[in-house]
Amino acid sequence: MDSIEHRTIHANGITMHVAIKGSENAPVILFLHGFPESWYSWRYQILALSSLGYRSVAPDLRGYGDTDAPAEITSYTCFHLVGDLIGLLDVVAPNEDKVFVVAHDWGAIIAWYMCLFRPDRVKALVNTSVLFIPRNPEKKFVETLRTRYGDDYYMCRFQEPGVIEAEYAERGTERVLKELLTHRVAGPLFLPKGKGLNGAPLDAPLVLPSWLSEEDFEYYTNKFEQKGFTGGLNYYRNLDRNWELTEPWTGAQVTVPVKFIIGDEDLTYNSLGGKDYIDSGGFKRDVPFLEELVVMEGVGHFLNQERADEINKHIYDFFQKF
């Protein structure tokens, strides 16, 4: 880990922290993390892929870790987030027209947007955990979620500024992160007020999974103690704003080569119609250059950490085609 270079760069009007490893002349892989994580979520991939001839570039996304967290909720739209990445690439990979992208969770959502807005900058994408979500022109996204799952659905509970932050402050950063990172239920995620995830008692014992050491967990905890959760939560608070802004892309397809990987125990595979979207052919319709689809058996949400070696191989094998 000591061999990873940490840089501070200015992009799209903010200061970003980025972890980099690999030769300056090597093809770039841009790694995009999810919630509640940071560049550190890609620690295994950064080391493995740089040793295999790539240049690993893993930023803390806007609102996370050592990257700026603007105060305004409206500063976290899909255009801000993709803009940050284009600005970042212009600094760290100025001679590369296109780069490889690997993403997870919210990073995966941003990666899909990046492929829609700037396909000219993406050589190929390995996306994980979150499927492409085609825009429904008839109904706003959060309204769709409320209709389907009710007000306690986690994305709905995240909408009101300050409410979930106050609950998290009462519970403590360590407890909140441990709940989120140890959660493993193959179905929708609910946050009933005054209870743990899916109604679990707030004092239920929690044990870190085998793929997350105490040292790793301490790193996450320290960063969220310093930064808070608001930046990451603001991504969810822009779901409807993104819906409005992306009307011009209604019906648009993702036109870059894609490999998609998901765990069969991931909540994203087992809610929001994820499995049906794949099985019915909808996913392939909307992502026509989907070259490989991998459903990993017995694997949960944080698959890039849970099955790091396998994910490393999936990434390497796919990108070697290009």
Catalytic residues: 105, 236, 301
Backbone angles phi, psi at 314, to 5 degrees: -60, -45
Contacting residues for 322 by C-beta, under 8 A, at least 6 apart: 100, 123, 124, 257
Furthest CA-CA distance within the chain: 53
How far apart (Å, rounded) are the C-alpha atoms in residues 47 and 164? 35
SS3 294: strand
SS3 26: coil
DSSP 155-206: HHHT-STTHHHHHHHHH-HHHHHHHHHH---SS--B--TTS-GGG--TT---
Is the Cα dihedral 11, 72, 247, 33 positive or negative?
positive
- My answer on whether omega of the bond before 36 falls inside 30° of 0, hence cis, is yes
For residue 147, give the amino acid letter. T
Residue whose pair of structure tokens reads 């979620």 in the numeric block = 145
Q: Report residue 71 CA to chain centroid gap.
A: 21
Contacting residues for 136 by C-beta, under 8 A, at least 6 apart: 144
The separation between the first and the last C-alpha atoms of the chain, rounded to the nearest angstrom, is 28
